[in-house]
């Protein structure tokens, strides 16, 4: 994706190799599940951020690759557990672990990955960074549970939505950036700026993710449109639409709870008409612009260009 930057392809390969080599288990089921997950690709945006930022300071591959890999491993663990909750059949265009191996395997493969991720970084990362990453996982859990608790809640405010995705997604982006920056010995100001860059990008990333549930191309997104809607999870495009004159029409359908495919398509259409998708896109653009501002403090270099490209790409992505 960012192949014009020489180091990216190589570093990303190293991360995949590190994950496959270091997640050792004598359980064939876990092994298969993890191989599947690593080989199915994924954007690897969190480790990419760790590395791009770390390469702006004193770069120590022996530390940075494991840190970047561990953050990706924890992210993978949350994805596996997320699929149990959503009862997702698909992930990244492939069968999810839970639909392939059952929720039992999904639960403990996720736990296995968490413990492995901590195990891999325990002796190379500073205690502060270790705690930071643990806090990131904590926030994700809180965000996910808050989201679940608010299913079918028609009174969700945009503010509450933003707070949710801050926890659910943005914080781990921020922590990825902060870990890379602090491990590379950047200045306090730079570390702070990078943390903010991660936060803003993370919010934009999740907003775009939520837009894709309304207007993605199913084949590319890798799962059916309206999946969130079906699970009672109301995201920005819908929350916005519920504040417009489309409210009544949408609420009338949503009150049924058990939505048919036709109902879902009807709501998607209403949300589009309400301007909810345009509004969401504009908000994502705003967050990306805020993020890019935080790059100003960094010296001009290849890595800074890469980070601007990553920021742009968040808006362009279609899966």
Size of site (CB under 8 A) for a second copy = 42
Applying CB under 8 A, the span of 13-21, 110-118, 186-194, 219-227 interacting with a second copy comes to 110-118
Out of 3, 6, 26, 316, name the contact with a second copy by CB under 8 A.
Answer: 26
* Cα–Cα distance, 100 to 129 (Å, whole number): 35
Q: Which is nearer to a second copy, 145 or 220 (CB)?
A: 145
CB of 115 to a second copy, least distance (A): 4
Torsion of CA 168, 169, 170, 175, to 10 degrees: 100
> Which of 79-87, 195-203, 204-212, 218-226 is the region at the interface with a second copy (rule: CB under 8 A)?
79-87
Does position 62 interact with a second copy (CB under 8 A)? The reply is: no
How far is it, in rounded angstroms, from Cα 240 to Cα 225?
Answer: 18
Residue 85 binding a second copy, by CB under 8 A: yes
Give ∠ CA 237-46-224 in degrees, rounded to 5: 40
- Going by C-beta distance under 8 Å and a sequence separation of 6 or more, which residues neighbour residue 248? none
Residue 100 Cβ vs a second copy, minimum distance, rounded to whole Å: 13
CA distance 317 to 43: 10
* Cα 275 to Cα 40, 58, 201, 252, 257, distances in angstroms: 34, 46, 23, 19, 23
Q: Return the range that interacts with a second copy (CB under 8 A); candidates 41-49, 102-110, 198-206, 272-280.
A: 102-110
Count Cβ atoms within 10 A of the Cβ of residue 262 and give its class: 0-12 exposed, 13-18 middle, 19 or more buried: exposed
Q: Is 36 in the site for a second copy (CB under 8 A)?
A: no
Chain residues 288-307 in contact with a second copy, contact rule CB under 8 A: none
Subset of residues 130 to 169 that bind a second copy, contact rule: CB under 8 A: 130-131, 134-135, 137-138, 140-142, 144-146, 148-149
* Shortest distance in whole angstroms from residue 175 CB to a second copy: 12
198-233 as b/e, with b when 16 or more CB fall inside 10 Å? bbbbbbbbbbbbbbbbbbbeeeebbbebbbbbbbeb
Q: Counting contacts by CB under 8 A, is residue 108 touching a second copy?
A: yes
Chain residues that interact with a second copy, rule: CB under 8 A: 25-27, 29-30, 77-78, 81, 84-85, 102-105, 107-112, 114-116, 118-119, 122-123, 127, 130-131, 134-135, 137-138, 140-142, 144-146, 148-149
């Amino acid at each position: 994706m960012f192949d014009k930057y020489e180091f990216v392809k190589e570093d990303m390969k190293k991360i995949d190799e590190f994950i496959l080599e270091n997640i050792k288990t004598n359980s064939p089921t876990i092994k298969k599940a993890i191989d599947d997950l690593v080989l199915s690709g994924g954007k690897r945006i969190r480790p990419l951020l760790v590395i791009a930022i770390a390469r702006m300071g004193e770069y120590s591959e022996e530390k940075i690759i494991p840190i970047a890999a561990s953050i990706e491993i924890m992210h993978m663990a949350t994805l596996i557990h997320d699929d149990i909750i959503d009862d997702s059949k698909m992930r990244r265009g492939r069968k999810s672990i839970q639909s392939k191996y059952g929720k039992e395997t999904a639960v403990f493969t996720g736990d296995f990955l968490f413990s492995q991720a901590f195990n891999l970084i325990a002796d190379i990362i500073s205690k502060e960074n270790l705690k930071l990453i643990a806090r990131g996982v904590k926030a994700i859990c809180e965000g996910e549970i808050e989201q679940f608790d608010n299913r079918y809640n028609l009174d969700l405010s945009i503010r509450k939505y933003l707070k949710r995705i801050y926890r659910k997604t943005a914080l781990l982006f921020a922590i990825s950036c902060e870990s890379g920056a602090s491990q590379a010995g950047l200045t306090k100001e730079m570390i702070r700026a990078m943390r903010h860059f991660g936060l803003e990008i993370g919010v934009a990333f999740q907003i775009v993710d939520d837009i894709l549930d309304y207007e993605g191309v199913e084949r590319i997104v890798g799962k059916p449109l309206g999946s969130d809607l079906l699970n009672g999870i109301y995201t920005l495009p819908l929350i916005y639409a519920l504040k417009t004159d489309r409210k009544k029409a949408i609420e009338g359908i949503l009150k049924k709870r058990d939505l048919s495919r036709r109902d879902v398509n009807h709501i998607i259409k209403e949300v589009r008409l309400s301007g909810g998708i345009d509004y969401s896109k504009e908000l994502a653009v705003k967050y990306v612009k805020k993020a890019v501002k935080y790059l100003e403090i960094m010296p001009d270099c290849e890595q800074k260009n890469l980070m601007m490209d990553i920021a742009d790409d968040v808006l362009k992505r279609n899966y």
